[in-house]
Amino acid sequence: MAVTGLELKGLLEEAGVKAEVARAVDPAGPLLKQGLDSIDFPAFCALLEERFQVSLDDVTALKLRSLDDFAAFIGSAAVSAGA
């Protein structure tokens, strides 16, 4: 499943990120430096797991810093699942 960082940006609010913070996020920049806090980040990860049917363990999640990183992870997980 191909998804872009920009598309994932639309899910931030759904995960509970404040609208003004979500709107300002640069998909290429580290999320935790753009206003996401320590509750928003795991909530966003959990939402991605549900939405894209991927398994995202905590160690891996903490290495994914930007929306583009998450998009690449979801893309590679889809390729693995399809292989």
Residues at the site binding other proteins, with contacts judged by CB under 8 A: 16, 37-39, 41-43, 45-46, 57-59, 61-62
Nearer to other proteins, 6 or 13 (CB): 13
21 CB-near residues (< 8 Å, 6+ apart): 12, 34, 35, 36, 40
Least distance from other proteins to the Cβ atom of residue 5, Å: 21
Nearer to other proteins, 1 or 62 (CB): 62
Distances in Å between the Cα of 27 and the Cα atoms of 6, 10, 69, 80 are 6, 11, 9, 24
Least distance from other proteins to the Cβ atom of residue 55, Å: 8
